[in-house]
Structure 1
């Protein structure tokens, strides 16, 4: 018996357990599995590279073929069928496909074009009653059908930066309540209260803060409903390191660099609110200096950010206006041109 090679395809927008069931069935039955994944900007803003990354991470043995120029028409006409068949044959090049895996109507005509066995999998959706359309409409409601790596990539991570006593905690917690989701408190404050000696932390302890914050943030991304509101990040810890030690540990430099692309929206809370002079803070003068340093760092790193000014209600209204217009994976500048 010759080598059994299976092919399946889709948009995976997003990848859900129904898709995974088809792929895993093919993996269990075939010697080799190919997956064609289509670009589909008309359906989802999630880039093809992100969706392909899910497949490669979850199924490292499959061959993922990215179809950037694939046909977008969907239907059962002879013309549409022919376009898809010709494209698929072109993408697989000289590969001999023996089984075509899918759960859709097109299994019959595609398998005929491939001269392969039409292997229908759960076509009546009895195993997994889910569809990409349903998930796109409400990912949180259908989260049980999504792998954690997929779900976390659907959450909009909103971070609030600023010097001490600029309202970050208040606004993050309040927005989480209004949007019925979770928020990420500043781990550095908790750590500082437990481990500080004479109001100072070592370079290695600042690294532990950044790492601990990141770990908790990853956990909360899986619990979030559409948004995670995050109070500070590694960029703040980086600035504290410079302030107190005039240097930064290499690992913290790396974590701060990762923060450049980690957050979908960045808000800088301004200093135009009264300073709360608690025992753990170093005064309003230092607050103003620290604020300038954070803002300068964002500009030098070329991180787009919005400045929040005014009272709590004004700030929350501003954030809500941005969230109402924002779409994850969309060009941020589009907010200003709609």
Structure 2
């Protein structure tokens, strides 16, 4: 067993072979540092790849094997422009040694194992002064590569490769797959504890439609919000559910979605007001996708009583969040109906009237 394992790479994109490499490091180490390296010229943003790796590690960490031995993992993002090959700089190995050792925190043990699936791991480990653990160099466990993944995306528009991770599969589908066919899509937005979930299910029941729950509620039932990486996962999964939730037999062709990218961005503003621009670029792209597919937005004012359900934290932020959401709807020129009545039944009736008016016009 190693005290401190190291895994680094581009994860361009993050596939199940990479997942297997990290799992192996976690199985054989008390603590693991995973460094996600990216360049600005790469088509899949490094911040998104970092988020996929981070979420995969958090999910693996809930497995009994890793909980019982208290394995800890730190996933970091290296976005500096640095030499990619020894031929690019005479001090290539020292540059990379210094970069990787910079991620050693104050109380960390030094790296004693470098886990890779490539021969470059041998000289890199020698410069780091640690053991090289070569994992599945022949790709026999997961016959996949980053190059093959990119070809599936950019040449074949294929999201069906079984060796794609969940995050990358969602990404490929969002880039290439047509949305599920619905006659109408309705989006419910608002600040915390304004009745979005209740409204979503009330409308779905009244209209015999399909409800798409807020993924953030599902996510925070299992994980705490620790970094901006969490919000990349929330953005991507919520949009994926909005576009690709299938219509069950017997349901009408109307989808009601609790939350969108505007709400997710508004809470990212609260948690991480200082952040990289890539998040806002992806958020902008997602907001425009909602605008393209949504037929109606319903904005709920926070006029109902605050309900502390154990996950909500920002009662004092409700009015500000409402104003922020409304200003973004106006900025993107998204038509919406604003509901402010304090009675839940009246709110539902008003929303139903707005939806039925929409359906009459089509």
TM-score normalized by the length of structure 1: 0.53
CA contact (8 A) 2:93 2:127 kept: no
How big is the shift at 1:107?
0.3
**Which residue number in structure 1 is paired with residue 49 of structure 2?**
51
The separation in 1 between residues aligned to 2:151 and 2:75, in whole angstroms, is 26
SS at match of 1:62: strand
How big is the shift at 1:305?
7.0
Pairing partner for 2:140 from 103, 126, 137:
126
Change in CA separation of 1:122 and 1:221 when aligned onto 2, cut-off 3 Å: farther
Q: 2:105 aligned with 1:102, yes or no?
A: no
Change in CA separation of 1:27 and 1:219 when aligned onto 2, cut-off 3 Å: farther
Pairing partner for 2:203 from 194, 203, 206:
206
The separation in 1 between residues aligned to 2:254 and 2:210, in whole angstroms, is 15
SS at match of 1:104: coil
Q: 2:152 aligned with 1:155, yes or no?
A: no
Change in CA separation of 1:106 and 1:231 when aligned onto 2, cut-off 3 Å: farther
Instruction: Kindly provide the CA deviation profile for residues 70-116 of structure 1, in whole angstroms up to 9, marking residues without a partner as x.
Output: 52423467533332222212233564111100011220111111211
The separation in 2 between residues aligned to 1:299 and 1:43, in whole angstroms, is 33
SS at match of 2:102: helix
Pairing partner for 1:62 from 64, 70, 73:
73
Question: How many positions carry a matched residue from both structures?
Answer: 227
Structure 2 unaligned regions, length at least 5: 59-71, 187-198, 216-237, 247-252, 267-282, 300-324, 335-362
How big is the shift at 1:130?
1.3
Change in CA separation of 1:84 and 1:222 when aligned onto 2, cut-off 3 Å: farther
Pairing partner for 1:74 from 61, 85, 93:
85
How big is the shift at 1:266?
5.1
**What RMSD over aligned residues (CA atoms) do the two structures have, in Å?**
4.3
Q: 2:110 aligned with 1:92, yes or no?
A: no
User: Which structure has the bigger radius of gyration?
Assistant: 1
Q: What does 1:127-276 correspond to in 2, within 5 Å? A: 127-139=141-153, 140=158, 143-156=161-174, 181-186=178-183, 205-206=202-203, 212-213=211-212, 218=241, 221=244, 234=257, 257-258=263-264, 261=283, 262-263=286-287, 265=289
Q: What does 1:287-326 correspond to in 2, within 5 Å? A: 300-301=328-329, 304=332
The separation in 1 between residues aligned to 2:98 and 2:262, in whole angstroms, is 47
The separation in 2 between residues aligned to 1:20 and 1:203, in whole angstroms, is 36
Structure 1 unaligned regions, length at least 5: 158-178, 190-201, 224-229, 235-251, 270-286, 307-338
The separation in 2 between residues aligned to 1:10 and 1:253, in whole angstroms, is 34
